[in-house]
Amino acid sequence: MRRKSLLERIRLFGHAAIDSITVLGRSGIFLVHVLFGRGGIGGSFQLLVRQLHSIGVMSLLIIVVSGGFIGMVLALQGFNILTKYGSEQAVGQMVALTLLRELGPVVAALLFAGRAGSALTAEIGNMKSTEQLSSLEMIGVDPLKYIVAPRLWAGFISLPLLAMIFSVVGIWCGSWVAIDWLGVYEGSFWSNMQNSVSFRDDVLNGVIKSVIFAFVVTWIAVFQGYDCEPTSEGISRATTKTVVYASLAILGLDFILTALMFGDF
Percentage of the chain exceeding pLDDT 90: 54
Looking at residue 153, what is its pLDDT?
A: 93
Confidence band, pLDDT 50/70/90 cuts, at residue 139: confident
Looking at residue 137, what is its pLDDT?
A: 81
DSSP three-state, residue 52: helix
Q: Which of 59, 91, 245 is nearest to 166 (CA)?
A: 59
Q: Which of 192, 201, 222, 203 is nearest to 163 (CA)?
A: 203
Of 82-86, 108-112, 152-156, 206-210, the range with the lowest mean pLDDT is: 82-86
Dist CA 78 CA 60 (whole Å):
26
Contact yes or no for 78/91 (Cβ under 8 A): yes
DSSP-derived letter for residue 148 is I
Looking at residue 55, what is its pLDDT?
A: 93
Q: What are 177-230's pLDDT values in tens digits?
A: 999 898 888 888 899 888 888 888 889 999 999 999 999 999 999 999 998 888
Of 24-33, 58-67, 149-158, 199-208, the range with the lowest mean pLDDT is: 24-33
Q: What are 35-54's pLDDT values in tens digits?
A: 886 644 555 788 889 999 99
CB atoms inside a 10 Å sphere around CB 156: 17
CA distances, 96 to each of 157, 169, 193, 212, 254 (Å): 23, 11, 7, 21, 18
CA dihedral (108, 109, 114, 118) in degrees, to 10, reads 140
Mean pLDDT of 51-66: 94
Contact yes or no for 36/136 (Cβ under 8 A): no
Flag whether pLDDT at 2 surpasses 80: no
Contact yes or no for 60/115 (Cβ under 8 A): no
CA distances, 121 to each of 183, 215, 216, 218, 223 (Å): 47, 15, 14, 9, 8
Q: Side-chain half-sphere of 134: how many Cα atoms within 13 Å?
A: 7
